[in-house]
Amino acid sequence: MPTESDLLSGYPAELPISAREVETAVQASQRDLPRIFVVLDDDPTGTQSVADLPVLTRWEVEDFSWAFRQGKPAVYVLTNTRSLDEPEAAARNEEIVRNALTAAAAEPAAVHVSFVSRSDSTLRGHYPLEPDIIAATVLEATGEATDGVVIVPAFPDAGRVTIGGVHYVRAPDAGAGRLVPVSDTEFAQDATFGYRNASLAHYVEEKSGGRVPADSVIVLDLGIIRAGSTGGGPAASAKAIADAIDGATDATPIVADIVTENDLRALALGLDEAERRGRKLLYRVGPPFMRARIGQDIRTELTGDEAYAGHEPSTAGGLIVVGSHVGVTTRQLRILTEQHERAHIIEIDVEQLLDERAAHHLDGIVGEVVARLAEGDVILHTSRLLVRTSDAAASLRIARTVSAAVVAVVNRSLKIFPPRFVIAKGGITSSDVAAHGLQIRRAIVRGPMLPGIVSLWEPVDGPAKGIPYVVFAGNVGDDSSLAQVARKLSATF
């Protein structure tokens, strides 16, 4: 198992670049035609790296019009496509792109929309389907062809880095500085979105069924990303990156090495330069890419007081909902229940959800949640025994059934006894809780609850207005992270 230092030994040092440098460059390039990035986020955890941006769980034209009027450089749209099958995911991507373009065309001042397909930093999701659909829809609607699809899954805050075109996960348990190819992790065994390759070029070939050969993928390695560190500074890196993708055409995949925030900012400058030269780019990225691309600084983690700013906290207990089944989530749940001795722990039995007992079981869960919220915090989690099937479509159906049950409990409880706060752990879980459980249509992402990870939303409409909502990805944080976030918001922890 390689160490990070070993893999980096042949590359230049990172080049210090401030967020302000990127922001200034982006603003200069958009002086004549302002641009808004529309981020199609396949689950809501992509917002964990940004702050003060609008987020939508619905995508009618009027929703985009509201978001565009916020005057921000990007808007997130919660597609939840990781919970859908391919035809449904394709239809949803197309609808969102068309509505965004319609809303942009109706704006009083001209605005250009660029599209970002945000997905998992461990390579799970509908690839290449989603960027293919976005590119095809943009071409049909506007006549603009996509030259390159920039693939940047790296998420350094959460320990996912790309070196030499290979995507790795930092593995503290394996020893200091050790990196594990993402193909050797539990994430690659996903029942629906599994894969064999950590080399991103070969991942592209694998997922495209051979339609895109690995040797046709442009790889921006750290030698290119950090070109300016040996002389010339940020401008030299930007030129090297733009030069490397000058030949991109017909949606050529472009993968990028990323280890640090400085690497992301260097890439942002290079992509901005490439677009100034006329390259039409689409993005398939992990969470921190947009922060760097728009020149947003890393926001410090929010305090409990900041989470409730402008609202008087309820005297009810908070609701912590855990649906994800990845190993780190189960460990976080264990630490939370051990440390939060005053919380009430309620389990949803997945096996009962899959047979005739479902309705009775849910009625009992709702009654217990409401009663316990009057006394303090409630930890609501699905049973930890994962019901498995070898059929990807069946796995999705089970996941939807479980998520629908969680949503029903949250929604029915909200209407009877609104909680002080809500934390949702897991991608599909947090998406469905937001859109359906709490009926959030529009919100503002306020910032992270932990450094670089875990997003706090402020709902601006619906029955959850004024209730802090925390979106917590299933695959991020250390074993105590869930407890840390709950402690900030709880009145009894």
Query: Quick one: which of 421, 414, 417 has its CA closest to 489?
Result: 421
- For residues 199 and 284, give the distance between their C-alpha atoms in angstroms, rounded to a whole number: 16
Q: How much is the pLDDT for 191?
A: 85
Of 171 and 366, which is predicted with more confidence? 366
pLDDT (mean) for 141-154 = 98
At position 261, the amino acid (one-letter code) is E
Question: Does the structure show a pLDDT above 70 at 125?
Answer: yes
Which helix (H) or strand (E) is 88 found in, with range?
helix 86-106
In DSSP terms, 333 is beta-bridged to none
Average pLDDT value for residue range 100-106: 97
Q: What is the pLDDT of residues 268-289, one digit of tens each?
A: 999 999 999 999 999 999 999 9
Which segments of 314-418 are extended strands (E)?
319-322, 344-348, 378-382
Band the pLDDT of 448: cuts 50, 70, 90: very high
Q: What is the DSSP letter of 129?
A: H
Percent of the chain at pLDDT > 90 equals 80
- Smallest CA-to-CA distance from 378 within 445, 325, 318 is with 318
The candidate with the shortest Cα–Cα distance to 382, out of 397, 401, 395, is 401
Return all residues near 50 (Cβ < 8 A) that are at least 6 apart.
74, 76, 290, 291, 296, 445, 455
| Contact assessment for residue 229 and residue 11, using Cβ atoms and an 8 Å cutoff | no
* Residue 175 pLDDT: 64
Contact 157, 451 (CB under 8 A): yes
Range in 10-14, 27-31, 173-177, 252-256 with the lowest mean pLDDT: 173-177
Starting at the earlier edge strand, list the strands of the sheet with 179-181.
Answer: 160-163, 166-170, 179-181
* Gap between the Cα atoms of 42 and 82, Å rounded: 6
Dihedral sign for Cα 435, 436, 441, 444, please: negative
Main-chain phi, psi angles of 246, to 5 degrees: -60, -30
- Are 488 and 303 contacting, i.e. CB atoms less than 8 angstroms apart? yes
Domains parsed from the chain with CATH numbers: 4-293 (3.40.50.10840), 306-489 (3.40.980.20)
Query: Is there a contact between 121 and 473 (Cβ–Cβ < 8 Å)?
Result: no
**Residue 355 CB: number of other CB atoms within 10 A?**
8
Whether 44 has a pLDDT exceeding 90, the answer reads no
**3-state helix vs strand vs coil in the chain, percent to 5:** 45, 20, 35
- Count of residues in the chain: 493
* Claim: this prediction has a pTM higher than 0.85: yes
Q: What is the pLDDT of residues 354-369, one digit of tens each?
A: 889 999 999 999 999 9
Integer Cα distance of 17 and 364 in angstroms:
55
Average pLDDT over the chain, rounded to whole? Answer: 93
Q: State residue 469's pLDDT score.
A: 97
